[in-house]
A and B are shown apart, each in its own frame.
Chain A
């Protein structure tokens, strides 16, 4: 298995544009998490899925953010009308969802809003 993969790895966009990031988790993992990390800070929780169900959303996820996992496999995170404050790395992670199971992280998608 190739691990958790994210695409694109880097995205530069103009303020006001929409962007979408994709995450492909490890194939048998039923839990998928999105985090955001700004420079010099630790990651912050955004949302997570159990299969296709989005079970928890952070208040950091404004209404411009939407995440989906339509078939319980890959997930997308869309940011509409991007703002400069959205510039960050968006990290995806997955796990088997069994208590005590390791969480595996992707390489992250860097977003720069200019």
Chain B
């Protein structure tokens, strides 16, 4: 069983829709990361959180430590949001040094 599981694996939505991507993990963590990967490989860190909620522009990330679950929300989605979104967790023993990644959610926003 993968230690980090994301759902859905693929998501297609119309421009303007509210998007939710989920991440569940099974290990104790120091922090959870949400990352964005565009075609060609480059990864951008969107959020790092260990509790509560963070917001940046149209992106919102929440985490529930007790339930070992996090969500990434995108409001007013736009075609430029199309990318793979990856959840990664830092082990509670090793911090950010040994991130464990989910397999990603491929998001496609149709104009």
Which residues of A line the B interface, CB within 8 A?
Answer: 31, 33, 35, 37, 40-45, 48, 55-56, 58, 89, 91, 93, 95, 99-108, 110
Residues of B within 8 A of A110 (CB): 41
Q: For residues 77 through 111 of chain B, which have their beta carbon under 8 Å from a beta carbon of chain A?
A: 86, 88, 94-104
Residues of A within 8 A of B31 (CB): 100
* Contacts A91-B41, A105-B42; A45 near B48 (Cβ below 8 A): no
Which residues of B line the A interface, CB within 8 A?
Answer: 4, 30-31, 33, 35, 40-45, 48, 50, 86, 88, 94-104
- Shortest B87–chain A CB gap in Å is 8
Can you list 15 contacts pairing A with B, beta carbon distance less than 8 Å? A35-B101, A42-B101, A42-B102, A43-B86, A45-B100, A48-B98, A55-B97, A56-B94, A91-B41, A100-B31, A100-B48, A103-B96, A105-B43, A107-B40, A108-B43
Report yes or no: B41 in contact with A107, Cβ–Cβ below 8 A: yes
Q: Which of A40, A89, A95 contacts B96 (CB 8 A)?
A: A95
For the complex, what is the distance from the CA of A97 to the CA of B101, rounded to whole Å?
Answer: 19
* Contacts A42-B88, A45-B98, A107-B40; A102 near B45 (Cβ below 8 A): yes
Report yes or no: A106 in contact with B42, Cβ–Cβ below 8 A: yes
Q: Which of A35, A44, A99, A103 contacts B33 (CB 8 A)?
A: A103
For the complex, what is the distance from the CA of A88 to the CA of B58, rounded to whole Å?
Answer: 32
A-B contact count (CB 8 A): 63
Report yes or no: A89 in contact with B88, Cβ–Cβ below 8 A: no
Residues of B within 8 A of A41 (CB): 103
- Shortest B47–chain A CB gap in Å is 9
For the complex, what is the distance from the CA of A95 to the CA of B48, rounded to whole Å?
Answer: 13
* Contacts A42-B86, A42-B88, A102-B48; A48 near B97 (Cβ below 8 A): yes
Of B40, B99, B100, most A-chain CB atoms within 10 Å? B99
Report yes or no: B42 in contact with A107, Cβ–Cβ below 8 A: yes
Report yes or no: A43 in contact with B97, Cβ–Cβ below 8 A: no
Residues of A within 8 A of B41 (CB): 37, 89, 91, 107-108, 110
Across the two chains, which residue of chain B brings its CB closest to A41? Answer: B103
- Shortest A55–chain B CB gap in Å is 7
